[in-house]
Amino acid sequence: MGRLIVISNRVSVPKAAGAAGAQGGLAVALNSALREHGGIWFGWSGQETEEFTGHLDMQRNDGVTTATIDLEPQDIEEYYNGYANRTLWPLFHYRIDLTEYDRNFGEGYERVNERFADSVLPLIESDDLVWVHDYHLLPLGSLLRRKGVKNRMGLFLHTPWPPTRLLVSLPLHERLVASMLEFDVIGFQNVEWLESFLHYVQKELGLTVNPDNSIDYQGRRVVARAFPIGIDYEEFVEAAGGAEARAAHDRLKQSVRGRKILIGVDRLDYSKGLGERFEAYGRFLADNPELAARAVLLQIAPPSREDVASYQQIREDLERKTGHINGAHADVAFVPIRYVNRGYPRDQLAGFYRAADIGLVTPLRDGMNLVAKEYVAAQDPEDPGVLILSQFAGAAHQMKDALLVNPHSIEHVSEAIKRALEMPLAERRERHARLLASVRENDVRRWREDFVEALFGPPVGPPAEPPAMPLPAKAGNPAEAENPAEAEKPTEAEKPAQDQTA
Ligand code: GDG
């Protein structure tokens, strides 16, 4: 198997020993894949340069080679803040009301993808596998093909894929999606997004989808499949049992003085449904005065994408809602919502999760949502908390033992909070045990192994040792399979997704 070339918008450089565990699960998984296969992680440094030079900053840390480029201000504005985060992100999260269609954004997006292609091209060797991540880089495969790259290339989309009726509102949508078909493997978080993609390909591009969900396009076969992402289970369970997590757990528990704890942990993003969540909590407080003073909602929401206006808007909106609810329900010695606009180290986060009686994960739309999985992994199996999960998170496909809610219905979420607070221990344990088994089994290692295996592709070529005597022709004898349909049968790796949920 060749080396891996991982390409994503940003690169997570492995920290020196001692800061281990500071990275998120995805970075840890990709770094361990890179250590195993060898290779390079390429992307934007996050730094700005006055004029784009294409200079590659190559570094080797902790067994992983990274290569980064700086971008110029116009690139960042049009590609990152523009097309990626003001056009594709809202559109892919079904928010066409927030989607901005600006021709400059589209041009900036293509220009930066071209810059990515030119910069990474000299790093790719003939039998490398190229693994591209996310909505920032959808046309990258086709640009690399145009520059002569013949390698196996895959794309994994971390976000949802929108329904065709929404996607067609994007100018030049056909061109964008057709460019994706230059990848050999296209991965989605679950079968729902996969089916939306296949629907689009048939309806708008007029292509035929084979029974194994592959698509034949310009003489090549593209495999589309669901690869549900998971967390680094072992690492997270270990973190939750460590000293730092225990200290964070005890600190939080002491501070609430016997009250029940609800926890939310989300990047400050409109897709995460924070406003609706706060309203639902306000409704819960109003409808259940006897329980209201016995619970606290801790919402951790580190700011993100602060240069984009809709993100400034959500911040103001949440501050107003928190003030309103706290004003109505607080007491001299008690505040019902603790809204914290900052991030915490992973180990502390694990301790907070473990201290919480309810994990409140209510995005309006989410590719997967790893917080739901982290919450489950951090619980004490003898006395676990209850996960309340949006039916619109990709994770809901796998986590049917959570209390699944419609995050748009403040009544539904409010009732789920009451039900979770009153849930008997036996039911909590049963639900948690099933959720934990699924989180453990479908972890990030499995995700990346499945993807890399699919990317590696079906075995090719004749058997190394041809039989000495020709065997009599017989149906089903692979050595004799002259029927191309027989030879083209999908391998296990190519078969349609076994989204654990289905
Ligand atoms: C995208 C897709 C998909 C959050 N606050 C802190 C902190 N976090 C960590 C969480 C979790 C991660 O950030 C968030 O992951 P999510 O999956 O919830 O969401 P996105 O950032 O939107 O990620 C999503 C994911 O990609 C993977 O494919 O699941 O659907 O949108 O790991 O723990 N980490 C630390 N401190 C914080 O305060 N250390």
Which residue CA neighbors atom 10 of ligand 1 most closely?
371
Separation of 197 CA from ligand 1 center, angstroms?
24
From the list 128, 366, 443, 499, the catalytic residue is: 366
Which residue CA neighbors atom 33 of ligand 1 most closely?
371
Judged on CB neighbours under 10 Å (0-12, 13-18, 19+), 396 is buried
Q: Does ligand 1 lie within 6 Å of residue 344's CB atom?
A: yes
Separation of 112 CA from ligand 1 center, angstroms?
25
- 179, 144 Cβ separation under 8 angstroms: no
Both tokens assigned to 229: 């992402």
From the list 133, 158, 249, 397, the catalytic residue is: 158
Tell which atom from ligand 1 comes closest to the C-alpha of 301. 5
Q: Does ligand 1 lie within 6 Å of residue 305's CB atom?
A: no
Backbone angles phi, psi at 373, to 5 degrees: -75, -40
Separation of 366 CA from ligand 1 center, angstroms?
11
Judged on CB neighbours under 10 Å (0-12, 13-18, 19+), 473 is exposed
In 228-284, where do the E strands start and end?
260-265
Q: Which of 34, 20, 107 has its CA nearest to residue 448?
A: 34
Pairing of strands 358-361, 260-265: parallel
Which residue CA neighbors atom 21 of ligand 1 most closely?
267
Catalytic status, residue 158: yes
Q: Does ligand 1 lie within 6 Å of residue 343's CB atom?
A: yes
Both tokens assigned to 349: 């986060």
Which residue CA neighbors atom 18 of ligand 1 most closely?
369
Sites in the chain below the pLDDT cut of 50: 16-22, 461-502
Separation of 471 CA from ligand 1 center, angstroms?
56
Q: Does ligand 1 lie within 6 Å of residue 26's CB atom?
A: yes
Give per-residue pLDDT as tens, 156-165: 999 999 999 9
Catalytic status, residue 55: no
Domains with residue ranges and CATH for the chain: 4-70+115-230+448-464 (3.40.50.2000), 242-441 (3.40.50.2000)
Separation of 265 CA from ligand 1 center, angstroms?
8
- 187, 494 Cβ separation under 8 angstroms: no
User: What radius of gyration, in Å, describes the C-alpha atoms of the chain?
Assistant: 24
| Residues paired with 5 in a beta bridge | 40, 130
Please choose from 85, 133, 267 the residue to mutate so as to test ligand 1's pocket, defined by most ligand atoms within 8 A of CB. 267
pLDDT at 13: 73
- Cβ neighbours of residue 118 under 8 Å, at least 6 residues apart? 54, 147
pLDDT at 459: 57
pLDDT at 31: 84
pLDDT at 478: 33
- 435, 387 Cβ separation under 8 angstroms: yes
